[in-house]
Amino acid sequence: MDFNDTPQEAEYRAKARAWLEDNAAEYREPPETAWKLDEFIQRSKAWQAKKFAAGYTGITWPKAFGGQGLGPMQSIIYGQEESRFHAPSGLYSIGLGMCIPTVFTHGSAEIAERYVPKALVGDEVWCQLFSEPSAGSDLAGIRTRAVQDGDEWVIDGQKVWTSFAHASDYGIVVTRTDPSVPKHKGLTMFIVDMKAPGVEVRGIKQMSGGSDFNEVFFTGVRVKDTHRLGDVGNGWKVALTTLMHERLAVGGKPRHAPGYETLMKLARGVEAPVGGPAIEAGDVRQRIAQSYINDQGIKLTQMRALSALSRGQMPGPEQSISKVVVAKTMQEMASFALDLAGGDGFVTGADGDPELAKLQGSYLGAAGLRIAGGTDEILRNIIAERVLGLPGDLRPDKDKPFNAAA
């Protein structure tokens, strides 16, 4: 395993780094206060348009769809360099990372021509409508239905935990079109206009104070058959395209997440109950060492995925290991850090310590990360069955008609 850039990769990294130095200078430091939604969207669109003009969007996408036609290593290198800044790119992470690749892989040429260019330049924002109140990680258990009516489909049902639905123009929605067959075989996916009559978006207030997630209700929403992605009843295979991109996207450590260095800095500044800096206490040093070990394990697992990509291979199911370890480590590390800070760990607001605020955000956000992109339990099943080769989990409803098993 060689962690160094090839000469070609080093040249691309230098070019991207120089461009970012010239164009992302205002995002070198995080904003002093979180942007309001309108400002966040305005800044996100401006940043996306700037990246598009410079050729740093759709890096791996085919040139026929407006992409750059480069390899995954170039995309990763650009992402690594951009992560040194605090530029507003999260608004497009789901649309460009998961939805649009599904659209140009499974949609018609006319559909791709209509939607892909506007998404690339940032004119249109997309969301992914998968999870439901009774079907989270068990995506094949969804109940939102679509019934064909001439050359249109009528959608009724509810989705939940839909990131940025309140700011999206379009979404990809997986529906049940045939409840008389086993649950994986009766699904169909569509593109839906988020401003269409019958679409209602309700924000979910998160315990962190944010409201990035939403409930989305569909009441008689009409979608043209031309906006179907893949064949009728083939939605599970189409969804796997999206899920493959999702698992890759959420498998690593979030940008700017605190690490063992944060713990060391904090432990040097607080006093242990027995006196002296906390970093001199044996139990504190042991917890910091464990965080370092976890961080290095995550880093090396990600390097394994990068090595596969550099050889033209796709990372395998072992990528699920990173996701499980990252979310658990973030939650445990932030919990320990806030305990270490004592009463100050509970102080929030504009006058609070920015470093502690970052740890508080990490603690509250990590709970959601343990659900997003597959719960810990689902991913452990994947690791057990597809990495370790253990016997499969018992699935008594797998071959039964959905309406008989429900």
Residues that are catalytic: 246
The burial class, CB within 10 Å (0-12 / 13-18 / 19+), for 63 is exposed
Q: What is the DSSP string of 56-99?
A: -SSTTS-GGGT-----HHHHHHHHHHHTTS----GGGHHIIIII
In angstroms, the CA 232 to CA 242 distance is 17
Residue bearing tokens 């504009």: 350
Task: Please list, residue by residue across 303-318, b when 16 or more beta carbons sit within 10 angstroms of its beta carbon and e when fewer do.
Answer: ebbbebbbeeeebeeb
Residue bearing tokens 């040429």: 109
In angstroms, the CA 234 to CA 334 distance is 42
In angstroms, the CA 305 to CA 326 distance is 15
CA 367 distance to own-chain centroid = 14
CB contact at 8 A, 142 and 368: no
The burial class, CB within 10 Å (0-12 / 13-18 / 19+), for 282 is exposed
Measured distance between the N- and C-terminal CA atoms of the chain, rounded to whole angstroms? 48
Number of Cβ atoms within 10 Å of the Cβ of 84:
15
In angstroms, the CA 99 to CA 89 distance is 15
Paired tokens of 67: 């992409």
